[in-house]
Amino acid sequence: MNNAMNILGQKMNLFAASANVLVLPVFAGEANLAESVAERLPESLRKTALRLMKAHDFSAKPNEMMTIDVHDAAHHHVVIVGLGSAADATLETAREMIGAVVACARRLGARSIAVEIPVSDEGDVADVAEAMVVAAQLADYAFDTYKEKNGAKRMKEMTLVIKEGRDVLRVRRAVERGCAIAGGVAVARDLVNMPAQVMTPSALAEAAERIVKEAGKNFSLKVLDRAECEALGMGSYVAVGNGSDEPLKFLHLTYMPERSTRKRLAVIGKGVTFDSGGLSLKPGDGMMTMKCDMAGAAAVLGFFTVLGQLQPRCEVHGIVAAVENMPSGKAIRPGDVVKASNGKTIEILNTDAEGRLTLADALTYAKKLEPTAMVDLATLTGACVVALGEEITGLMSNNNDLAQAVLDSAEDAGEKMWRMPLEKRYRSLIESEIADLRNIPTSRYGGSLTAGLFLEEFVDGLPWVHLDIAGPAFAEKPMGSYLGKGGTGHGVRTLVELVERM
């Protein structure tokens, strides 16, 4: 669970730090690399370091590490870590580096790290510091609620060593920001990692209540139950919940900044707390990770946690149509027709295409708030994972400026996203014989695009971005050096960048 390490920014000499592991990041490309790295070490370590670097042909490739065991009282290890060439370095280089370092420190049994902030010519020390803080916290995350022995190997403290006195304040602010962002990502990861048996629609509503309360006076929450949703005409969303014994909960979180601006962002998260497929039941293997089908909702709640700390100038609405998709004698059947709150009828031909049914009403609700931009996050289609793999989000949009703003935000935040088209010619694939729309396309191909086109029917031309996070929301194997298995909180970091750009 969320038990973040303490992070400090200090102007000091790295080798004066009292941490268990002292980390010296180095760029590649220098002529006498080993010698120049050795010069940066205390006299007593130079010989050993030189011998080690020469013996292993150390060339400072990204994440290449040399560990020196220091046999003295205070510190136990010095780690020299490569960053590759300074010209190729990005913030992601720093994130990947610190992720590898945290893993190494954990293997060494260390509880504290001190590390220099590496800055290339174009880099900014505060940006690099923030990236390192976020990645270090994410790397140190563990979901161990259900383990007998928990918390044992977590890091206690990290000191970012600052070289220039004038950078101290900016770095300390970056540390605070980074911790706030990482805290929000951890909230999202916890929500995803919690089993569906406990993380029900009601539990999601309770989590939202806690978050809004903690965030303070500019925040509020409205929770609608089934009867209230029916009264609003949300026939599509409520139908998904028919088979479950868990009552559905529609969540509307609001953040009103102190000084109001004309910008209003709505973020909509898919909140299917478990997706069995319904009567169109998934095979056992396909169901194994389906507690992750509320990862979009988790990202929205994690994002709101960060909003509470950063208090940006843009008004934000968070919307989650939380529901469990189960088979039963009450469940919706293939062939049933439902009516969404915008008046459109939908023929449900596969109860496993339930995400779009919930989003139809969530988007309609969001639209009524007259946002200047809408972003939905949804573990929507397996087809998106086929198209882009497990680490990249599929982005679809009806607005080039907003699409670009989200892509730029994702790039800066270190989340991978790629735009896919809302191809009008494929629109005919979701036309129904007897209703306005069908919930699955008539072609097996381009499944993410037809899902995106389905959602577009509910946005009425408002600037909107759809993020299909089916791949990166849940890591079946570690995603790079700083995101381990399980829920990743994907989307939170991009949303934070985006809201500050609005």
Q: Which stretch binds Mn ion (CB under 5 A): 27-35, 46-54, 151-159, 273-281?
A: 273-281
* Catalytic residue (choose from 263, 282, 339, 501): 282
- How far is residue 414 CA from its own chain's centroid? 10
Nearer to ligand BES, 328 or 400 (CB): 328
Q: Is 36 exposed, middle or buried (0-12, 13-18, 19+ CB in 10 A)?
A: exposed
- Calpha distance 23→76 (Å, rounded): 12
Task: Provide the 10 A C-beta neighbour count for residue 227.
Answer: 8
- Spatial distance between the Cα atoms of 270 and 318, rounded to a whole number of angstroms: 11
Name which of 476, 468, 473, 477 is nearest 490 in CA terms. 473
Based on CB atoms, which residue is closest to ligand BES, 309 or 350? 350
Contact 60/28 with Cβ under 8 angstroms? yes
Indicate if the alpha-carbon torsion angle 47, 48, 50, 55 is positive or negative: positive
Select the residue whose beta carbon is closest to ligand BES and give its number.
Answer: 382
| Shortest CB 445 distance to ligand BES, Å | 12
Q: How far is the CB of 330 from Zn ion (least distance, A)?
A: 19
CA distance linking residue 269 with residue 284, whole number of Å: 25
Phi, psi for residue 249 in degrees, rounded to 5 = -140, 125
| Helix residue ranges per DSSP H, 254-377 | 284-287, 295-310, 355-367
CA distance 340 to 203: 25
Q: Does 440 bind ligand BES (CB under 6 A)?
A: yes
352 binds Mn ion (CB under 5 A): yes
Q: Of the candidates 96, 116, 190, 275, which one interacts with Mn ion according to CB under 5 A? A: 275
Residue 125: name its binding partner from ligand BES, Mn ion, Zn ion, none (Cβ under 5 to 8 Å by kind): none
Site string for ligand BES, 304-343 (x = CB under 6 A): ----------------------------------------
Quote the strand ranges of 70-204, DSSP E: 77-85, 112-116, 157-162
The span from the CA of 86 to the CA of 99, in Å, is 19
Nearer to ligand BES, 58 or 474 (CB): 474
- 381 is in the binding site of which of Zn ion, Mn ion, ligand BES, none (Cβ under 5 to 8 A by kind)? ligand BES
Q: Could you give the CA distance from residue 388 to residue 226 in angstroms, rounded to a whole number?
A: 36
Copy the structure tokens of residue 110.
Answer: 């260390």
* DSSP SS3 for 97: helix
Identify the residue among 150, 350, 372, 432 touching ligand BES (CB under 6 A). Answer: 350
Tell me the one-letter amino acid at 315.
E
Q: Pick the catalytic residue: 356, 367, 416, 438?
A: 356
Burial of 350 (0-12, 13-18, 19+ CB in 10 A): middle
User: CA of 255: how far to CAs of 97, 111, 303, 309, in Å?
Assistant: 35, 37, 11, 12
What residue has token string 């220098």?
30
Composition of the chain by helix, strand, coil, percent to 5: 40, 20, 35
Catalytic residue check, 153: no
347 binds ligand BES (CB under 6 A): no
Closer CB to Mn ion, 300 or 470, in the complex: 470
Q: Which is nearer to ligand BES, 338 or 383 (CB)?
A: 383
Cβ 368 to Zn ion shortest distance, Å: 25
Shortest distance (Å) from residue 421 CB to ligand BES: 18
Q: Is the Cβ of residue 134 or residue 440 nearer to ligand BES in the bound state? A: 440
Q: Which does 20 bind (CB under 5 to 8 A by kind): Mn ion, Zn ion, ligand BES, none?
A: none
- For ligand BES, the closer of residues 294 and 495 by Cβ is 294
Smallest gap from Cβ 354 to Mn ion, in A, equals 5
Residues 257-296 vs ligand BES: string with x where CB under 6 A?
------------------x-----------------x---
Show the binding pattern over residues 339-368: x = contacts Zn ion (CB under 5 A), - = does not.
----------------x-------------
Q: Name 256's Cβ contacts closer than 8 Å, sequence gap at least 6.
A: 218, 219, 220, 315
Is 485 considered catalytic here?
A: no
Mask of contacts with Zn ion, 234-273, x by CB under 5 A?
Answer: --------------------------------------x-
470 binds, among Zn ion, ligand BES, Mn ion, none (CB under 5 to 8 A by kind): ligand BES
Which partner, Zn ion, Mn ion, ligand BES, none, binds residue 350 by CB below 5 to 8 Å per kind?
Answer: ligand BES
- Asked if 96 is part of the footprint of Mn ion (rule: CB under 5 A), the reply reads no
Measured at the CA of 106, the angle between CA 100 and CA 109, to 5 degrees, comes to 145
- Contact (CB, 8 A) for 78 and 70: yes
Helix (H) or strand (E) holding 103: helix 91-107
Residue 480 makes contact with Zn ion by CB under 5 A: no
Under the criterion CB under 6 A, does residue 352 sit at the interface with ligand BES? yes
Which residue numbers are catalytic?
282, 356
User: What residue ranges bind Mn ion (CB under 5 A)?
Assistant: 275, 352, 354
User: What residue ranges bind ligand BES (CB under 6 A)?
Assistant: 275, 293, 350, 352-355, 379-383, 385, 440, 447, 470
User: What residue ranges bind Zn ion (CB under 5 A)?
Assistant: 272, 275, 293, 355
